[in-house]
Structure 1
Amino acid sequence: MLTEQSAAPTQQDVLSTFVNVKFGIVGRTVSTKNDPNTSGRFHFWLSRHAVEVGTIEIGSIIAAYSDDGRELTFGTVQEMRSYSEADSFSADFAIHNYGEPYAIVGGDQAEVVVATCAVIRNLSSRTRPIGRCRVYFPSPRGIQFAFGIVDAQGRWASSGAAIPIGIFENGDGTIAPVSVDEDFLVGPEAAHLSVSGISGLACKTSALQFALKSLQRHTRKKIAVVVMNVKSKDLLYVDQINTRLQQDRWSQQVYENLDIPIQAFVDARFFAPSHPKNRNMTQSLRTLPTESYRWDLKMLYDDIPSLFHASEWDDNIEGAWYVIREEIERGRILTYSDMLTWIDKLLSTSGLTEWPRGYTSATWFKLKGHLKRFTLMYRGLIETESDGRDIPWSRIGHGDMYVVDIQMLSQGGQKLVFSRTIQAITHQLETRKGELDAVVVFVDELNKFAPAALDRTPLKTKLVEVTARGRSLGLVLFGAQQFASSVEKEIVENSSTFMFGRTESTEMRMPNYSGFSDEIKTKLTMLPQGQLLVKFPKFPQPIFVKFPYPPALPGDDYVEPMG
């Protein structure tokens, strides 16, 4: 029996449902003494026509239908080899008149192309090597069934909502939507998405934008999105429609087929640090309306210890700081300037040999120097005199998108904003139970905040905690980076979904790619823009997915309206 249903389907039913019969047979399975088929992989030789038209390549999906009609096995092509009867390279050179490339070789010189496939799924759910089979291209349902996206009847096969992430286009032209289970994308079963690839060639930001738009359209959960704009103007105009999308018919058809609106993130709100010299302005390259944020001492004092470098934060500095912290909590120090003045007064009433409040004058001078330095390092973030203004996290709700611009800040400033953002979202999810199921935090250049280094910073520790336990809370990370190996190992390992764009060959040697065949790795080094290799926990094998232009305008494409 092919399935576990009470009534076994006929051969015609199986072929018409799961196989592209019209395209015809593209080859036959083969097993040899030296290279037998196994339950996990099998081989097939390509028909002469299939070789001539070049429809099968690395990543193609095929369906092997047994001659007795009892088995249908789906596989993905992971390796292709061309064999001839030549015993050696020199023998082939010799029969071509010793190096004449235009020489016509007499007699029959058999050549065969053999593909090796990784088994994706078997319709009978039995695990065993396949026998003699005819090889076809699968139908759209066959492709989706093979990856567990739908069941044998074509129904969505998961408990969570179907979130389309792109399409798969097979060698015969068959197109199948590729969707993931949102319970494994944003929790609670699993969570977090990691996208890596060469900057400018992998289209990481575009892929994540498309995934976010699809998530907003198809989710059954209450979800908000927070976007960290880390570099240039990349994400500063996500509320503007992408003109390239409006001009590309193929992309428009993908949106229509996947039921995703061709629309920018029109309701997005934008936040940027206050300008150091004018609180009514922001430090942002966005020319459209942007809201400012800055933090006074009451908002910031819990974060001040994290501003110190590890070598600066010794026992004496820590003790002196907690003296100041106590004064703040008792209401005796109200502003950042008051804090510096308080230290001055403490020192002015003490001699150089005394120990004010239990610590040497040298310790207090050193602490004051650091605190004063922070006002320069974090210009626009620290409000020294008046009340601060935070991002209105308490108002974020389902369907909202907050874009937090940090690209004009120093690296230390960017880390401070990101750390406070994670902290604020965590607080909202913990205190507003039921109002939001998840908050997705999209950050580019994730390796800046959690590099794969030996030192463990407070921010890195926080991000490891987010990826390890955030799915149960609803805090989800969508991260992009040029190299997956450049991000803290625990963060990468805790992510459920991976997308790989065009990748450098040196990066392929890292453990992150050890599960891919050599030819899959080779294809990744040449992958065109708009295509990614997707690895998802419910997919038996990775799949190459195409995606359209993103819905939002790239920042560098924005042009100020005339007049």
Structure 2
Amino acid sequence: MIRGKDPAEQLKGEDVQELVEGNKEFDRWLKREKRISNYPNASYDREKRRNELADIIKGITNPTLKRIVDELDIRLQNVEDEKVEILQDIREFFEKWLGIPVPLSGKASKPKDLVIQGELSVMAQAKEEEKKEGAARCIGRIAPTLRSPSTPGEFTFWVEDSEHIHIEVGNLVTAHNRGVRVTGLVTDLQAVSDVREVLDSFYAHAFGRPDAELPTRIPIVVNAKAEIVRRSDGRMEPIRGNWPVTFATAKEIREAYGAQISPEHEVLAGFTYDDRKDPVPIGLDARYVVGYEAAHINISGASGVATKTSYALFLLYALLAHSEQHNSNIASIAFNVKEADLMFLDNLPTWEDLDRIKDHPLWKFSVRLWRQARNDYGIDPIRWAKEKRFQFFAPKHFSPDGGVLSRRSDSNVKDFCYGLQALIDAGVGALYALFDPDDLDEKAVALIASMGDLAKRESLTFEQLINKVQSAMKQRKGDWFELDGAVHHRATANKILNRLRHSLENQLKGVVMKVENTDSPIPLKELQPGQLWVVDITQLSDKGQRLIFQTVVRTVFRLLEDRKTLEITGRLGNSELKDFPRHVVIFVDELNKFVPAGREFSVLKGEIVEIAARGRSVGLCLLGAQQLASKVDEEVLANTSTFAVGRSHPVEIQKSLYGWLAEGLKQKATLLDKGWMLLWHTLHNRPVLVHFPIPLHHLKREIESRIS
């Protein structure tokens, strides 16, 4: 290992190999710290830096790290423009990793604007820059003006008037100046000319003849505003001068959105595209998704666009892959709330099937992204399905014939139902979900709490509990009676008992057992790291959905809390929770149904809101999706580290909740296609537009339907 070596000591053969060969110390540093990895040309970009360092070493007799640094300083003084970035990456390796400072005595240490001199015009110089090997195509220049000054947070630039350059809101661009690179997100675009009024254009066009061709073409100037994502020198100052602007390269994008995320914590969140139109991965930090630093993801978007659930599933796959590759002990539970989509996610094509359609215009982009996700991040749902990592649960059918309340009813689907004791074990709050919100005033809540305490102490069924309450009411005359040491009103008890019977016999029939002690709750203690469980609640009433969701969330939270306590005290190895995951991600669509905004349902949602606030501390991540994020409880959103927005309604996107989006990005959000999301993560300085592939089980259905 080179790190820690005496700078004056002569390098041995194996030391030189660590500097110039692939998958050695310098190469690994480029992958880890400079994020030159996981995009199509990453290996070539690393090779250029290794070759440059090898060329430096080759010219030194008896090389030492100090002599390499001295030669590096000389080259930085006389560097050609296209090599500035390469040499500065090498310098950063010596300074930040090896701890050997480079003097920087030459012109490379004093960046100055690329001033246009002599007979070269701005675009003539741009064309010269294009000829340099590896240089990105210059598309325009920064233009600080009185009306649009450059600031530490944004810059404005004009774009070459060319039909070959297409720039959109959401594109990533980079301004360059002698090795300093400022990467920005395009948030606004305008096209203007020197024509003052529409009337002038009308008269100039042969008095309003649209088919007439003008003798002289009126120049159209496109100007764009970009919010700064990253500046390579780390300075917080405005750009000074007319720096050239290019579309961002893969390396620049990876640095901009991954500088604070180490490879062992990176979770794939989708892809954006570089200057070559190649997919570039965008990552999240697992510690800020599943805990313990922060947690929770929220996805919003219009209904019927088939994007929210698809993207949530892609994120679940990415987290499972991270668990497998980095032993992070993550498992997932997904609630199938609408349709039956998630219940068939194990019905997947083979990789050979995907190879056969890799050039099909409809599916080639998704196939490419799935391939890249598997090769670079280990995301392989096809293999996981074969290994039976996906398990499916559905409510027990209330009919005498049995079965499950689900559109899928094969042997891979396990039924579940709950008795009173199983609900109490999840927390007395689970009993509140048996009632409608309007029934839960303070008197009703107090009575239900007494009923829960009595049932827990005496291990009662629902039928026995109802009989106990009725017996207590008969023992005393008047309006009041005593239950479990507390006094309650007879009218409250009659109302609660009537509502309880109605729920058990109608709304919750089959899923909640009234008499029998033969319930079979979802066996959450058996959940293993790397697994994805799907719980189908589509056939249940809103009350039933709320009951199962809250019961599962409460139970998982308690298990994670117990596991962490055992781990901290050193007793985990001998406990029944030793194989339980360290982190659990719970996905649910229509989150606003379970934790709505405002004070309504306060008794029903209170504990879930508290769990969301404390979830990161025990490793619980709530991955919620909904059409309108403004309808979700503010406390849940305030504790969320990652937001994704798909196509949204114009009224919704203008609400203050979306203040993290610039106005141009809000307009973009109303027009997003399927497979695209605007993503913000707590470690990203700015949002980013990400693309994700069609879910594999959807892909199989589409292939079969079109081929048949």
Q: Same fold (TM over 0.5)?
A: yes
Structure 1 residue aligned with 2:249, among 139, 145, 159?
139
In 1, the alpha carbon distance for the partners of 2:207 and 2:510 equals: 75
Distance 1:339 1:196, change over 3 A: same
1:91 is displaced (CA, Å) by 1.3
The structure with the greater share of residues assigned to helix is 2
Specify which of 427, 431, 435 is matched with residue 308 of structure 1: 435
Matched, 1:296 2:445: no
Per-residue deviation at 1:227? 0.8
TM-score (norm 2): 0.71
Does the 8 A contact of 1:233 with 1:555 survive in 2? Answer: no
**Contact 2:416/2:511 (<8 A) preserved:** yes
1:205 is displaced (CA, Å) by: 0.9
Query: Which is further off, 470-479 or 282-291?
Result: 282-291
Higher alpha-carbon deviation: 391-400 or 98-107 = 98-107
Match for residue 112 of structure 2?
A: none
Deviation at 1:355, TM superposition (A): 5.1
- Alpha-carbon spacing, 1:365–1:145, altered in 2? closer, same or farther (3 Å): closer
- 8 Å Cα contact 1:236/1:555 also seen in 2: no
Alignment partner of 1:383 out of 491, 509, 513 = 513
Identical aligned pairs, as a percentage?
29
Alignment match of 2:629 (pick from 465, 475, 484):
484
Instruction: For 2:372, give the aligned amino acid.
Output: N
- CA contact 2:389–2:531 (8 Å) conserved in 1: yes
Q: Is the 8 A contact 1:237 1:558 kept in 2?
A: no
Which range is displaced more, 519-528 or 261-270? Answer: 261-270
* In 1: Cα distance, 2:456 partner to 2:156 partner: 71
Matches within 5 A, 1:82-101: 82-101=191-210
Q: 1:287 to 1:360 in 2, by over 3 A?
A: closer
Alpha-carbon separation, structure 2, partners of 1:162 and 1:319: 47
Counterpart position of 1:39: 152
Q: Cα gap change, 1:105/1:424 in structure 2, threshold over 3 Å: closer, same or farther? A: same
The correspondence of residues 208-247 of structure 1 with structure 2, limited to 5 A, is 208-219=312-323, 220=326, 221-241=328-348, 246=354, 247=357
Q: What per-residue deviation string (whole Å, max 9, x for no partner) do you get for residues 45-102 of structure 1?
A: 11133xx124221111111112xx2532111211111121112221121111221113
> 2:174 corresponds to which letter in structure 1?
A
Q: Determine the C-alpha separation between the residues in 1 that align with 2:148 and 2:559.
A: 58
CA distance in 2, matches of 1:417, 1:314: 22
- RMSD over aligned Cα, in angstroms? 3.2
Task: Write the distance in 1 (CA, Å) between the matches of 2:195 and 2:218.
Answer: 8
The equivalent of 2:83 in structure 1 is: 13
Measure the CA separation in 2 of the matches of 1:59 and 1:325. Answer: 54
Q: Indicate if the aligned counterparts of 1:337 and 1:384 stay in contact, CA closer than 8 A.
A: yes
Conserved 8 A contact 1:242-1:551: yes
Q: Distance in 1 between matches of 2:446 and 2:701?
A: 48
Q: Structure 2 residue aligned with 1:395, among 517, 526, 533?
A: 526
Q: How far apart, CA to CA, are the structure 1 residues paired with 2:442 and 2:136?
A: 75
Larger Rg: 2
Which of 501, 510, 519 does residue 372 from structure 1 map onto? 501
- Structure 2 Cα separation of the partners of residues 338 and 298 of structure 1: 12
Structure 2 partner of 1:253: 368
Letter matched to residue 129 of structure 1: P
Q: Distance in 2 between matches of 1:364 and 1:128?
A: 68
Q: Distance in 2 between the 1:521 and 1:316 partners? A: 46
Q: Secondary structure at the match of 2:393?
A: strand
What is the TM-score of this pair, normalised by structure 1? Answer: 0.88
What CA distance in whole angstroms lies between the structure 2 residues aligned with 1:420 and 1:554? 33
Structure 2 residue 142 is the aligned partner of structure 1 residue 29 = yes
For the Cα contact (< 8 Å) 2:191–2:223, is it kept in 1? yes
Quote the Cα distance in structure 1 between the aligned partners of 2:658 and 2:488. 53
| Contact persistence 2:261–2:284 (CA under 8 A) | no
Structure 2 counterpart of 1:340 = 466
Q: CA separation of 1:86/1:277 partners in 2, compared to 1, >3 Å: closer, same or farther?
A: same
In the TM superposition, 1:442-481 aligns within 5 A as 442-481=587-626
| Pairwise CA distance, 1:42 | 1.2
How many Å apart are 1:218 and its aligned residue? 2.4
Partner of residue 153, structure 1: none
Return the alpha-carbon distance in structure 2 between the equivalents of residues 488 and 141 of structure 1.
39
Does residue 278 (structure 1) correspond to residue 400 (structure 2)? The answer is yes
Moved more, 54-63 or 294-303: 294-303
Separation (CA, whole Å) in 2 of partners of 1:319 and 1:109: 77
Contact 1:139–1:174 (Cα < 8 Å) also in 2: no
Measured at CA, do residues 393 and 105 of structure 1 come closer, stay the same or move farther in structure 2, by a change above 3 Å? same
Partners of 2:563 and 2:582 within 8 A in 1: no
Q: Deviations over 1:228-271 (max 9, x none)?
A: 11112021112221589844333222122232225164422212
For the 8 Å contact 1:237–1:554, the answer to whether it is kept is: no
Task: Give the C-alpha shift of residue 342 in structure 1.
Answer: 3.7
The structural deviation recorded for 1:340 is: 3.0
- Structure 1 spans left out of the alignment, 5+ residues: 151-155
Q: Report deviation, 1:556.
A: 8.7
Partner of 1:176: 280
Q: Matched residue pairs, number?
A: 546
Task: Tell me by how many angstroms 1:481 deviates.
Answer: 0.8
Query: Which residue number in structure 2 is paired with residue 57 of structure 1?
Result: 168
1:249–1:83 CA distance, 2 compared to 1 (3 A): closer
The secondary structure found in structure 1 opposite 2:647 is: coil
Q: Give the match for residue 195 of structure 1.
A: 299
Task: Determine which structure has greater relative contact order: mean sequence separation of CA pairs < 8 Å that are 6+ residues apart, divided by chain length.
Answer: 1
Q: Say yes or no: does 1:415 pair with 2:522.
A: no
**Which of residues 632, 635, 640 in structure 2 aligns to 1:495?**
640
C-alpha distance in 2, partners of 1:354/1:472? 44
Once the two structures are superposed, residues 460-501 of structure 1 have per-residue CA deviations (whole angstroms, 9 ceiling, x without a partner) of: 222322332211110101111112212112212211111111
In structure 1, what is the Cα distance between the partners aligned to 2:447 and 2:156? 71
Candidates 666, 676, 697, aligned match of 1:531: 676
2:287, 2:312 → 1: CA distance? 18
How far is 1:280 from its partner?
3.8
AA at the equivalent of 2:344: Y
Gapped runs of 5+ residues in structure 2?
Answer: 1-32, 35-67, 90-128, 358-362, 568-577
Secondary structure of 1:441's counterpart equals: strand
The amino acid across from 1:402 in the alignment is W
Separation in structure 2 between the aligned mates of residue 158 and residue 216 of structure 1, nearest angstrom: 18
CA distance in 2, matches of 1:287, 1:401: 18
Q: CA offsets, 1:363-418, max 9 Å, x none?
A: 54434323312212211122122212111111112112221111111111111111
Q: Structure 1 residue 321: deviation in Å? A: 4.9
Q: Distance in 1 between matches of 2:250 and 2:452?
A: 63
Deviation at 1:125, TM superposition (A): 1.1
SS at match of 1:515: coil
Given that residues 654 and 666 in structure 2 are in contact (C-alpha distance below 8 angstroms), is that contact kept between their aligned partners in structure 1?
no
